[in-house]
């Protein structure tokens, strides 16, 4: 089963954290496309989705149902561990 990863980022102009989280999303999608379902909320769509998921600022990321990052771009290794915790690896 794929782990759902949701990315929340501001629109143009992007803050530096949002630029980084979008780059990270691209890398995760390339490396783990068979293990993750990646959804991006960018720009106007992000405000309602932030509130819906309990976030108050960007950048933000939700990995599966239990793991969230807000106000920063996590490292690739941190996200890989979150994917493991959510069952993305046996």
pTM (predicted TM-score): 0.91
Token pair for residue 33? 């496309």
At residue 16, the 3 state secondary structure works out as: helix
Q: How far apart are CA 90 and CA 70, in angstroms?
A: 27
At residue 28, the 3 state secondary structure works out as: helix
DSSP β-bridge partners for residue 52? none
| Residue corresponding to tokens 């783990």 | 32
- Please give the helix or strand (H or E) that residue 48 lies within, else none: helix 46-52
List, for residues 27-80, the tens digit of each pLDDT value. Answer: 999 999 999 999 999 988 788 899 899 999 999 999 999 999 999 999 999 999
List, for residues 7-33, the tens digit of each pLDDT value. Answer: 999 887 778 999 999 999 999 999 999
Q: What domains are defined for the chain?
A: 3-85 (3.40.30.10)
DSSP classification of residue 53: T
């Amino acid at each position: 089963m794929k782990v759902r990863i949701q990315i929340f980022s501001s629109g143009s102009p992007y803050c530096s954290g949002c630029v980084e989280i979008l780059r990270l999303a691209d890398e995760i999608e390339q490396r783990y496309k068979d293990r993750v379902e990646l959804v991006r909320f960018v720009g106007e769509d992000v405000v309602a989705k932030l509130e819906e998921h309990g976030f108050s600022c960007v950048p933000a990321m939700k990995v599966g149902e239990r793991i969230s990052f807000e106000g920063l771009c996590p490292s690739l290794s941190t996200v890989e561990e979150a994917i493991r915790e959510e069952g993305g690896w046996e």
